[in-house]
């Protein structure tokens, strides 16, 4: 009886497991660093192979989700209860690989699964400890995959870990419920079963059953995979007249007439440094998205401005006046896009944004100019976005980790006389 008790499966079963998608302004985006021709991840096929079944490979391969150190993420797991009564789980904890258990912290949860439930969802939070404060001799327990790029001496190290299962306690017993490939492995056959199969002869013919009675093959579960990257900054955007950050989905109305220059109230940019306090911003880009004639236009870049700082110091005040007048002349020009945007970034620098002693941060102001024949030429119904794209520390020299925060503008055409340098109150 004791030997059979260990083979009894637990009444709690895992239906699916996946990573919970974070908010849009917290998503991490990977890009290749400038000057690196090699690949940062994976191996790319050079030639097309018509006999290669890419669909099966895509199903088996799970793209890891980027996770910043010190930030909380969650895994969504759906359960099924095989009992006809509610099942109480006093303790259930997510387990990762043995080498990852030191850095990854996941608290145990307790919950009750309803009777005969088939898709009871539970969010399991976890976070990765920040290793930036560790000494060089400190041990890093995460599993790392090395990818060698052609033409590069150093190998790109990718810190990847995955969820292997759950350790659940129920009915006064402790079970380990695996996720993924461990369930799909076939059980070894006993000696008695193999000897019985040898004695039974092969059938002379097999009666073909109908397909509608054929049992469906269970889909193989995929293990949620994650990739740990250094702590990343959090950018807060707000009006200078208010301390409340602008939330996602907020739309700022811009009433603009033909041949008018509209000045948007100044925005305040502040760095939150993340939960660990180590998320230092290293680069900032301000991009205008949705302008007529061009999908994206870079209005400001700290990297390019730092390189061209010497040239700007040599320019005279007359040249600066020519630039301002050139922006105003867009109203009278023909053949140009009906809408143009300009960023006034006087005093905007990464030093002020990353300065923890200054609570004011840095300010930036935008101007929108419309030509005299703007009319109904606005694309997307006049929806324009200001995208603040920024990045922090990189996991390796060949990879950059970016985040973005957007402010939506609604261009509303006003028929009437032109009023230059029109402003409005943001709190109305």
Residue with tokens 């009564």: 85
pLDDT for residue 257: 79
DSSP, residue by residue, 181-231? HHHHSPPPPPHHHHHHHHHSPPPS--PPPPGGGSPPPPPPP---EEEEE--
Most distant CA pair in the chain, distance = 101
- Burial environment of residue 223 by CB neighbours within 10 A (0 to 12, 13 to 18, 19 or more): middle
Strand pairing partners for 368?
A: 262, 341
Residues 6+ apart with CB under 8 A from 110: 88, 89, 90, 91, 92
pLDDT at residue 217 is higher than 70: no
- Burial environment of residue 229 by CB neighbours within 10 A (0 to 12, 13 to 18, 19 or more): buried
pLDDT for residue 37: 56
* End-to-end CA gap in the chain: 75
pLDDT for residue 390: 93
Q: What is the pLDDT of residues 194-208, one digit of tens each?
A: 555 556 666 676 666
pLDDT at residue 4 is higher than 90: no
Residues 6+ apart with CB under 8 A from 293: 337
Q: Half-sphere exposure (CA, 13 Å, Cβ side) for 355? A: 11
The first and second tokens of residue 317, run together, are: 């005040």
- Burial environment of residue 36 by CB neighbours within 10 A (0 to 12, 13 to 18, 19 or more): middle
Contact status, residue 95 vs residue 163, Cβ threshold 8 Å: yes
pLDDT at residue 57 is higher than 70: no
Say which range, 103-112, 239-248, 271-280, 402-411, has the weakest mean pLDDT: 271-280
What is the C-alpha separation between 233 and 157, in angstroms, rounded? 22
Run of H or E residues at 112 = strand 109-113
Contact status, residue 59 vs residue 127, Cβ threshold 8 Å: no
Comparing 155 with 348, the larger pLDDT belongs to 348
Selection from 380, 418, 387 nearest residue 403 by Cα:
387
Q: What is the pLDDT of residues 6-42, one digit of tens each?
A: 567 788 999 999 999 888 888 889 888 876 655 444 4
Contact status, residue 143 vs residue 157, Cβ threshold 8 Å: no
Pairing of strands 296-301, 339-344: unpaired
What is the C-alpha separation between 67 and 128, in angstroms, rounded? 8
Contact status, residue 411 vs residue 378, Cβ threshold 8 Å: yes
The C-alpha angle with vertex 197 and arms to 195 and 200, in degrees rounded to 5, equals 115
pLDDT at residue 65 is higher than 60: yes
pLDDT at residue 88 is higher than 60: yes
Could you tell me how far CA 163 lies from the centroid of its own chain? 19
Give the Å distances, CA to CA, from 229 to 62, 202, 208, 332: 18, 57, 54, 50
pLDDT at residue 130 is higher than 50: yes
The first and second tokens of residue 286, run together, are: 């301000």
Q: What is the mean pLDDT of residues 252-266?
A: 84
83-86 long-range contacts (CB < 8 A, ≥24 apart) are 83/11, 83/115, 83/116, 84/115, 84/116, 85/115, 86/112, 86/113, 86/114, 86/115
Strand pairing partners for 38?
A: none
Residue with tokens 């939960």: 275
pLDDT for residue 403: 92
Residues 6+ apart with CB under 8 A from 73: 19, 20, 22, 65, 67, 125, 126, 127, 226
State phi, psi for 169 to the nearest 5 degrees. Answer: -120, 120
pLDDT at residue 326 is higher than 50: yes
């Amino acid at each position: 009886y004791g030997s059979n008790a260990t083979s009894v499966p637990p009444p709690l079963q895992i239906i699916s497991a996946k990573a919970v998608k974070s908010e849009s302004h917290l998503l991490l985006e990977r890009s290749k660093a400038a000057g690196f021709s090699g690949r940062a991840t994976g191996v790319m096929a050079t030639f097309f192979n018509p006999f290669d079944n890419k669909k099966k490979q895509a199903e088996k391969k799970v793209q890891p989700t980027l996770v910043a150190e010190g930030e909380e993420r969650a895994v969504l797991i759906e359960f099924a209860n095989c009992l006809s009564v509610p099942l109480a789980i006093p303790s259930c904890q997510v387990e990762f690989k043995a080498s990852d258990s030191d850095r990854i912290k996941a608290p145990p949860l307790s919950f009750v699964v309803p009777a005969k439930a088939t898709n009871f969802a539970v969010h399991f939070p976890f976070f990765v400890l920040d290793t930036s404060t560790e000494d060089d001799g400190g041990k890093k327990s995460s599993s790392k995959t090395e990818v060698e790029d052609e033409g590069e001496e150093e190998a790109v190290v990718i810190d990847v870990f995955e969820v292997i299962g759950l350790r659940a306690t129920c009915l006064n017993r402790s079970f380990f419920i695996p996720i993924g490939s461990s369930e799909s492995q076939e059980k070894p056959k006993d000696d008695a079963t193999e000897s019985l199969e040898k004695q039974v002869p092969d059938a002379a013919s097999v009666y073909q059953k109908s397909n509608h009675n054929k049992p469906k093959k269970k889909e193989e579960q995929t293990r949620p995979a994650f990739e740990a990257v250094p702590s990343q900054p959090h950018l807060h955007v707000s009006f200078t007249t208010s301390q409340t950050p602008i939330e996602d989905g907020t739309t700022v109305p811009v009433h603009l007439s033909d041949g008018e220059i509209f000045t948007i109230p100044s925005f305040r940019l502040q760095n939150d440094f993340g939960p660990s306090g180590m998320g230092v911003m290293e680069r900032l880009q301000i991009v205008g998205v949705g302008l007529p004639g061009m999908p994206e236009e870079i209005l400001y870049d700290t990297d390019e401005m730092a390189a061209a700082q010497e040239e700007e110091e040599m320019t005279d005040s007359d040249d600066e006046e020519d630039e301002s007048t050139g922006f105003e002349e867009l109203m009278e020009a023909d053949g140009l896009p009906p809408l143009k945007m300009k960023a006034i970034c006087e005093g905007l620098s990464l030093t002020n944004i990353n300065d923890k002693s200054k609570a004011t941060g840095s300010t930036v102001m935008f101007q929108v100019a419309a030509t005299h024949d703007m009319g109904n030429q606005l694309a997307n119904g006049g929806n324009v976005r200001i995208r603040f794209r920024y990045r922090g520390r990189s996991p390796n020299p060949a990879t950059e980790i970016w985040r973005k925060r957007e402010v939506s503008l609604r261009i509303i055409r006003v028929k009437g006389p032109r009023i230059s340098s029109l402003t409005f109150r943001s709190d109305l």
